[in-house]
Amino acid sequence: MKRKAEEAERDEYPAWMLQEGQNPGLSDELNQRAASSYGDSDGIMSPSVDLGEVVYSDSTGVEHRKKVHMIHAVDTILTDGERVLTIQRKGPPDQDKLAFVGGLVDPVELKEGESSAQIDIREDASRELAEEANGIISKERGEVVGERKIIREPRDIRIISGVPAHFKNVAKYGVEPEDLMLVTTQAVLFKVSSDELDIMQRDFSAGSDARKGSAQLYKIDALLRDKSMGLDHGALLEEAKAHMQQQRIAEVSRASGISTAARVLRASGVEVNTSALAKGHGDRITGMELKKGKGL
């Protein structure tokens, strides 16, 4: 029975390919196309981008020609500042590793006369939390963190099978069976109270990518110390922690002045030169000049 249950879980997933080292040449080619297509944009105008066709040979020498799509996803970091909500991945890549609640960005409906529209990924992050954590959190509480991860480690490239369960979730992006799909991501941070976090962990209902009953709360520092997160979610958490730290320092600086902010920084292991800290900012910190382990 256990084997049948595991097989049923696997059947919910697209087939995965191009794990690191299997076909690095093709993987590099797809990442170059994705990076070139995305450019230096501050946001995304479409949840998917057509990257053309690619021809490659598999390990047996058989040649394949496939269409390639870049699909954008979002990962939600739900935290009370000390702990964070995680799930255990049900399928590859990094099956059984800890990860954040996430999903693909939904296509948007254009208004009359519009040919394109900026996508607010906070809406998608809020939707994911509502669907899986049974928590209604408005998008306005979300904070977009860092930059969109186009080239990811491990590389998130999938080949879509014709099995209906595989195909139904990506057909709306123009993806067809046997196409290649490269997935990018960006984190949205939601800061909630400890009580809210406890309730959402308790009421969590697993989505398609999470094992049932796997929602857990972990201390942020412990996750980063143990490097226990799958995919590139450890890097997302690092960015979120730095983001929250800077916000805290700015709040202390505005309320109590540079000297108090300097003490907070030093207590956090950040070397501080108070004259450099104050330079150009009066009595507050507003820039991105704070770097852990480096003086200013």
CA 38 to chain centre: 16
97 pLDDT tier (thresholds 50, 70, 90): very high
pLDDT at 286 over 70: no
For the chain, where are the E strands, in sequence order?
15-16, 48-57, 63-79, 83-88, 98-99, 101-104, 142-149, 157-159, 180-191, 216-219
7 pLDDT tier (thresholds 50, 70, 90): very low
Q: Which two tokens stand for residue 191?
A: 């800061």
**CA pair distance 296, 285, nearest whole angstrom:** 12
Q: What is the average pLDDT across 69-96?
A: 92
Q: Which two tokens stand for residue 56?
A: 């490659």
pTM of the model: 0.79
Give the residue ranges of DSSP H helices in 12-60: 24-38
Q: Which residues contact 42 (CB under 8 A, 6 or more apart)?
A: none
pLDDT the model gives residue 100: 96
- β-sheet bridge partners, residue 157: 182
pLDDT the model gives residue 10: 45
Domains in the chain, please, with CATH? 2-244 (3.90.79.10)
Counting runs of H as helices and runs of E as strands, what totals does the chain give? Answer: 9, 10
pLDDT the model gives residue 113: 65
Report percent pLDDT > 70 for the chain. Answer: 74
For 119-152, how does the pLDDT look when each residue is reduced to its tens digit (9 = 90+)?
A: 899 999 999 998 887 778 999 999 999 889 988 8
**CA pair distance 78, 274, nearest whole angstrom:** 33
- β-sheet bridge partners, residue 83: 219
pLDDT at 277 over 70: no
CA 141 to chain centre: 17
pLDDT the model gives residue 276: 47
Q: Which two tokens stand for residue 85?
A: 């909500």
Residue with the bigger pLDDT between 37 and 52: it is 52
**CA pair distance 210, 215, nearest whole angstrom:** 8
pLDDT the model gives residue 225: 94
CB-side neighbour CA atoms (13 Å) of 290: 27
- 77 and 189 in contact (C-beta within 8 Å)? yes
Q: What is the average pLDDT across 207-219?
A: 88
Mean of pLDDT over the chain: 79
Q: What is the average pLDDT across 266-272?
A: 63
